[in-house]
Structure 1
């Protein structure tokens, strides 16, 4: 999902990329406002789905003025992309098992990522749609997500790291997430479906 075509995995081969937070230097009050908005967005999506989601309704649920909400989130796509990014940040990966094969370690890492929204189909679909948007705010969040996912897969591969295979896994993972978002299979099935791909890519 590159910023231009929406198909290349974000962060692919992004070794050494400096990761910056979506917004820096927030006061405690501002950080609380952002948290309230993202929490409210999740509740709104659960009730209305992506189509019914609006920044204005999220602001109302969060008890925030719409004008204030728009100073933090330019669009509903920006908002749901931020929801996924925050979940990725706050839910650390399972520590790699040094006795397991590379394929099993990577499968575990992918399961962690898939589990961020896997049991919430409306939210998963909203995040998939939102992260495909081409506006600059979404592009920035998408790149941060891509770098984090690449780092997690790289750590899981460990001594078996091969950048070409890492790129292949990222392509497969983002393609699988897009397919789930399009309704070809349930998000809850994503990790299982990726397990076979991972074994093929890593030769396990």
Structure 2
């Protein structure tokens, strides 16, 4: 995770001690998800797992959806943003989409929770959804290179978001979605004007 993201929560800037508390809570959230799933996850249960008072947890996270969205954001932010300038833009775009799709692929409970959480109407989730979307857009922009078609960028964003919803609904695994996104990105890139 970038240093900036570590010290910046959805609600405010964090001191080092507060950042450590948020780290403990997000780590505990993943542990609770593994055993209880999203339906059994509560901020109170996560606080207990993290050794933090529930009231303290609620100062950082407004809901379980907010907590899960923060976990996803932190994992996305931890993916290095080293886009090679040479090579085929289709390869670079496919790599970006694959990395994002595989972000939670080895943790099915977290993957399912992320989809549910990201669809929520909590204002803090909405803030993270925008932040995540802008990050994905920036990664795709970098992968496309300087001479890009805005319609191609939008098509890739729609493909990414639709694929993650499809995986979250259980139609395909995140690993299968990563493969499908590779094909889809190449089809979209081949259709450039």
Distance 2:86 2:178 in 1: 20
> Does the 8 Å contact 2:101/2:178 carry over to 1?
yes
- Structure 1, unaligned runs of 5 or more: 1-19
Which residue is 1:174 aligned to?
161
| Number of residues of Structure 1 aligned to a counterpart in Structure 2 | 184
* Bigger fraction of residues in helix: 2
Secondary structure, counterpart of 1:184 in structure 2: coil
Which residue is 1:154 aligned to?
141
- Structure 2, unaligned runs of 5 or more: 1-7
Which residue is 1:138 aligned to?
125
Q: Deviations over 1:1-57 (max 9, x none)?
A: xxxxxxxxxxxxxxxxxxx85243311111111110000001111111111111110
> Does the 8 Å contact 1:94/1:112 carry over to 2?
no
1:45 to 33, 57, 70: 33
2:181 to 187, 190, 194: 194
> Does the 8 Å contact 2:93/2:140 carry over to 1?
yes
Please report the TM-score for the alignment, with normalisation by the length of structure 1.
Answer: 0.86
Which residue is 1:84 aligned to?
72
- Cα 1:21–1:74 shift into 2, 3 Å: closer
> Does the 8 Å contact 1:93/1:109 carry over to 2?
no
Please report the TM-score for the alignment, with normalisation by the length of structure 2.
Answer: 0.91
Task: Using the TM superposition, give the Cα deviation of residue 94 of structure 1 relative to its aligned residue in structure 2, in angstroms.
Answer: 4.7
1:33 to 16, 21, 25: 21
Which residue is 2:100 aligned to?
113
Secondary structure, counterpart of 2:127 in structure 1: helix
Distance 1:73 1:22 in 2: 8
| Cα RMSD, aligned residues only | 1.4
Distance 2:153 2:52 in 1: 42
Distance 2:169 2:75 in 1: 21
> Does the 8 Å contact 2:152/2:188 carry over to 1?
yes
Secondary structure, counterpart of 1:84 in structure 2: helix
Does 1 or 2 have the higher relative contact order (CA < 8 Å, sep 6+)? 1
Distance 2:147 2:89 in 1: 7
> Does the 8 Å contact 1:94/1:108 carry over to 2?
no
